[in-house]
A and B are shown apart, each in its own frame.
With several copies, the nearest count.
Chain A
């Protein structure tokens, strides 16, 4: 196989056969309940050093409650897929959980820049599309996929992209390595106790993120009866056998929105932005993560039912999601 050119960046090396063996040996094929607390899910399925992909981000249907639990449990040396992510990456870096980031797009401020300059975090440049595409490759069980971008740019040079000759036409084409993260975190609208999951609305890559990952944790706004779920099989986008943990987390996307259900809490997003500007991320994390023992407690103590009701009431568009 002649490689015409290749980037020099570090990347999580694909190994489809090793991934297959993991799936064979660890996945539950029978219908068993996977409902557990966020604490148990993160404790059991996220280890220091893991590669973590999450979909989508703190703004829209992101697994925000799960990410706060990762911080609360002080996971370390994570490598994250920052495809289309907001201040999630900042929080994880500020909390010292992350030391490598594959970048598609993320909100960057002084927290990440300082961490990079001080050598506490290493960045690897890709793009949003390239990262979701690498997850797609991982979700197809392949070692790589050809793609028709990245070529010619510095992203090519500093990433794990290669340029080969198309075996059919002989013309040059790029390939990127599949990504099979150790952990996939997806926040969903509804799922049953086994993990059959529905996701409503346009989305980044909820399916690829779940299907490519070794360990899959879903947080869900609602756990619905499996018989009811089976009345609409086309709505199931993630099948139960891919799922290791189901965490019941109403407002699990807070402070982001779950379209059709509640609006983003813009006030909170501003508070987080200001915390970074003022160098007060520690205080922010203390308040929103460490001072409480759970997502539920955070909602009760720091958000309050009144605000939750407002966020719900203000999301007037239900069409296409819940009607």
Chain B
């Protein structure tokens, strides 16, 4: 008995990320986009008590779903928070070690989990494409204990050398590199989540390592979409595709306008734990 399911690459990234989240941990997200949507999905489906902090100073809100359409500029985003503070205050809480996980999106990632959200192109003054900037990512990736990065599996995103390092991963990967740069000890990137894969980082070399794979993708599929070869973990886990329930909650309650979850469509045929790729849309626009 097979079943066909269709979802966007971003919906896969969001659901995979949301499944990494627990109700007894504290999360720090940027004010909008995939990280916040992943947190809201986890809170709605699996961990209603999950608390998160937003860079605008909102502490542990209880957004009532369905979320308002333009959540980034809606009072609903900070509804029934435990506290309303400001940007400096919440980053102090992260600096004190209270925040377990930072959840962030990246334009480019390198093999040590450093990432770029500033520009791509030949030089800072001459961007081919300029983005919003580090935003809150530099502090979140520096101060939280662990960082979850969300990005698409594309060669231009997993690069040998970043055009600009907006935010730190393990820097040059050497032991103590973050500490020597003044960052808090024992922190760093923890997972990188794409629509095809989940990566962790080798404890010794600090290099990115394939940890889990979508059931419809192979290791070669993943490597084909990276400029460098990742390490391969000892036993690859399988990523579940988004469930009907996850997709329905995402589309009908969390991101009702589809602004965040939109992307390239993936259609798979499910047969028990196996999944066969039926169609994967490739589109520059979806990135």
Contacts and interface: CB of A to CB of B under 8 A. Distances in A.
Given A148-B184, A154-B166, A205 B86 contact: yes
A17 B83 CA distance: 26
Interface in B39-84: 49, 51, 54-62, 69-70, 72-76, 78-84
A229 B60 CA distance: 13
Contacts of A23: 96-98
A1 interface: no
B179 interface: yes
Interface in B180-223: 180-186
B100 interface: yes
Nearest to A56: B56
A103 B70 CA distance: 23
B240 to A, nearest CB: 25
B236 interface: no
A269 B72 CA distance: 13
A211 B96 contact: yes
Contacts of B138: 127, 129-130, 149-150, 153, 155
Interface residues of A, number: 94
Interface stretch (A37-45, A73-81, A315-323): A315-323
A264 B74 CA distance: 7
Interface string A161-179: 0010000000111100000
A148 B183 contact: yes
A127 B139 contact: yes
A142 B91 CA distance: 12
A153 B82 contact: no
Given A233-B82, A241-B98, A29 B51 contact: yes
A128 B81 contact: no
A54 interface: no
A125 B182 contact: no
A156 B78 CA distance: 32
A68 interface: no
Contact of B135 (A17, A105, A173, A259): A105
B97 A20 contact: yes
A222 B284 CA distance: 48
Contacts of A206: 86
A202 B183 contact: no
Interface of B: 23-26, 31, 49, 51, 54-62, 69-70, 72-76, 78-88, 91-98, 100, 114, 118, 124-127, 129-139, 141-143, 145, 162, 164-168, 171, 177-186
20 contacts: A21-B186, A30-B23, A84-B31, A116-B127, A129-B55, A141-B95, A149-B138, A149-B168, A151-B142, A151-B168, A152-B171, A152-B181, A152-B182, A153-B114, A202-B85, A205-B86, A211-B96, A263-B74, A269-B70, A317-B79
What are the 5 closest A-B residue pairs judged by CB atoms, nearest first?
A141-B95, A152-B181, A20-B97, A151-B181, A105-B135
